[in-house]
Structures are given as structure tokens and as C-alpha cells.
Amino acid sequence: MEIYRELAGLRAALEAARASGREVALVPTMGALHAGHIALVEAARRPGTTVVASIFVNPRQFGAGEDLSRYPRKETSDIAMLTEAGCDLLWLPPVEQMYPDGFATIVSVSGVSEGLDGAARPGHFDGVATVVAKLFNQVRPTRAFFGEKDFQQLAVVRRMVTDLDVEVEITGVPTQREDDGLALSSRNVYLSPEERQRAVALPRALGIAARAIRGGSDSAKALDDATAALTAAGFEVDYVALVDAETLSPQPTPGRRRQLLAAARLGKTRLIDNLAVDLG
Ligand code: AMP
């Protein structure tokens, strides 16, 4: 796997790949990689495709008092995992490369960014949209892969790509989970062993609520029950919401798919998860 930390080198390598007829696929990450990230690399791999992963802990998507300074960094094992997964190229830009002195542009996607995590983490999705727009311009992929684990992020990226006519096809990859159902996340390392055991309440509460709503139960009651189950497990709940899977509007349009989304804190760790209500 080739590794680049400087834009000119990255661009030259990708120009050469494109000139030889290869397609370029991008998997953006913040590192501390796990099997969820590797599923994205595997989805991106295809004959004739150069798979680029990026690792950049983007300061602009962390709010004041969030975990930027303690976010896990594991460059050596990340490189080993990406090499093993068959990733061709790793883009590892330093912060000064992404945000040089004088940087003054923000990409802000209204609507789909505003509720849920957008409300709980002001400015977060501006940071995400800005860095993803930059990555798209730096790498110029024809395909890019994002996890459904970050469901709202995926919706924000899709909206931005449509609105800005970015020539990239976005693929959402299903959430990879531990055996007990907890979604894999770089932030799971923050959980104490005891919190890790209680964390399973999050996917369980979503599963129970999704089945109840699917079965015709009152959705407000299902959301209340999920919130109560999370609180009983020791979570502080930010939100449990049923939304339109495309617009993330809390008033799902009849006939359109619905998604359950939740965010909750266990001690100092904030976890998110989501589940499709309408299957098939
Ligand atoms: P992150 O490094 O947390 O910014 O995540 C980088 C990409 O990996 C994002 O598109 C995430 O949605 C995706 N991702 C993170 N965790 C998972 C998971 N458990 N399953 C699938 N994709 C994931």
C-alpha cells in the first residue's frame, strides 16, 4: 500500500492510476480502524479499481468539550489492517495540509443536518461536509463508501453530492456489529468492561422498538419504551427518534421507508446506532 501525506504526491499517483484506465474509490475514515471500516474497503474493492482510504481526525467535526484530544490514534495497526484488506493507497494528510492558515470556507447542508446529532452537536455536520467535500476534490473518486452506522452523516453526504453536482456515486455499507449486537465503533474503547456489558441495551432497545412499530404498535409508545429501557441500563439519552430514512424528517412520508435513530451517553462515552423499520 502506498502512503501519502502531501497532496501533490497523492494527486500524481491518482493521475497515473486514472491514466492507466483505473477507477478510483474512496473510503474516508478517522482511523482507529475496526472491522466496520474494513467492510467499507471490501465493498470498494473491484477489479480495475484503485481503493484509497483516508485517515484524518477532523478537528472541525468535534465540538468544544468533545473528545478530539483523546480520540484514539493507531497509525501502525491501521496501516497493517488496510494493507491486509487490499487497500491500494492511504491518504494521511496533516491538519495544516487540510486547513492551512487563512482557510475560510464552510460547506453547510441545511435540513438533513439540523435535527438529531446536528442538534446535539452544533457545527458537527458542517465539519463533516467541509472535510468530505475537500476529500472528494483531493481524491476525485468515482465511488465513495460510507457506513450506515453514521446514518445522518450518510444522508448529509448524499444531499451535498446531489446539490453540488459532485460526480461520485455514494454507497452506504450496512453496520458491522459485535456478536452481542453492539455496533463497532472506534469510541467503544472508551467503555469500561462494565459499561461495555450495559452498552448492548442500545441495539436491543432499537430492535424491540423496530419490531413493535413494524408490528403496528403506537410508535410514540415504542420510542418511550426504548428511552425507558436505555435509562434503566444507565444511559443518558440524547434522542430516540423515528424518521423518514431519506430526509430524516420526523414526519415520515407514508409509503417511504422509516429509520429508528438513537444517541445516548454511557458515562463519558456517547454512542449512536440506528435500525431500519421497514425491511425489504
Ligand atoms: P469514522 O472513522 O468513525 O469516522 O468512520 C469512518 C467510516 O466508517 C464512516 O463512513 C462510518 O460510518 C463507517 N463505520 C464506522 N463504524 C462502522 C460500522 N460499525 N459498520 C459499518 N461502517 C462503519
pLDDT value of residue 279: 79
Residue 172 cell numbers, joined: 452506504
Q: Is the CB of 274 under 6 A from ligand 1?
A: no
Tell me which residue has cell 489492517. 81
- What does the pLDDT average to over 146-155? 98
Q: How many CB atoms lie within 10 A of CB 74?
A: 16
Tell me the three-class secondary structure of the chain, residue by residue. Answer: CEEECCHHHHHHHHHHHHHCCCEEEEEEECCCCCHHHHHHHHHHCCCCEEEEEEECCCHHHCCCCCCCCCCCCCHHHHHHHHHHHCCCEEECCCHHHHCCCCCCCCCCCCCCCCCHHHHHCCCHHHHHHHHHHHHHHHHCCCEEEEEHHHHHHHHHHHHHHHHCCCCCEEEEECCCECCCCCECCHHHHHCCHHHHHHCCHHHHHHHHHHHHHHCCCCHHHHHHHHHHHHHHCCCEEEEEEEEECCCCCCCCCCCCCEEEEEEEEECCEEEEEEEECCCC
Query: Measured at the alpha carbon of residue 44, what is the angle toward residues 42 and 46, in degrees to the nearest 5?
Result: 95
Nearest partner of 55 among 35, 27, 77, judged by Cα: 27
Domains along the chain with CATH numbers: 2-173 (3.40.50.620), 186-274 (3.30.1300.10)
Q: Is the CB of 37 under 6 A from ligand 1?
A: yes
* Cα-to-centroid distance, 102 and ligand 1 (Å): 30
Give the tens place of pLDDT for each residue, 93-120.
999 999 999 999 999 999 999 999 999 9
Q: Residues 144, 171: contact at Cβ < 8 Å?
A: yes
User: Choosing from 25, 28, 37, 275, which is the catalytic residue?
Assistant: 37
For strands 236-244 and 258-266, give the pairing.
antiparallel
* Cα-to-centroid distance, 174 and ligand 1 (Å): 10
Q: Is the CB of 152 under 6 A from ligand 1?
A: no
Q: Is the CB of 36 under 6 A from ligand 1?
A: yes
pTM of the model: 0.98
* Cα-to-centroid distance, 146 and ligand 1 (Å): 7
- What does the pLDDT average to over 49-71? 97
Give the tens place of pLDDT for each residue, 132-145.
999 999 999 999 99
Q: Is the CB of 127 under 6 A from ligand 1?
A: no
Q: Which of 61, 146, 171, 189 to mutate to test the pocket of ligand 1 (most atoms within 8 A of CB)?
A: 146
Which residues, in sequence order, are CB contacts of 78 under 8 Å at separation 6+?
31, 32, 33, 55
pLDDT value of residue 255: 87
Nearest partner of 29 among 63, 65, 75, judged by Cα: 75
Q: Kindly tell me if the per-residue pLDDT of 280 is higher than 80.
A: no
- What does the pLDDT average to over 72-98? 98
Q: Residues 252, 242: contact at Cβ < 8 Å?
A: yes
Q: Is the CB of 43 under 6 A from ligand 1?
A: no
Give the tens place of pLDDT for each residue, 206-244.
999 999 999 999 999 999 999 999 999 999 999 999 999
Give the tens place of pLDDT for each residue, 10-32.
999 999 999 999 999 999 999 99
Annotated catalytic residue 37? yes
Q: How many CB atoms lie within 10 A of CB 168?
A: 18
Torsion of the alpha carbons at 110, 112, 118 and 119, rounded to the nearest 10: 90
* Cα-to-centroid distance, 36 and ligand 1 (Å): 6
Nearest partner of 241 among 263, 256, 211, 270, judged by Cα: 263
Q: Kindly tell me if the per-residue pLDDT of 264 is higher than 90.
A: yes
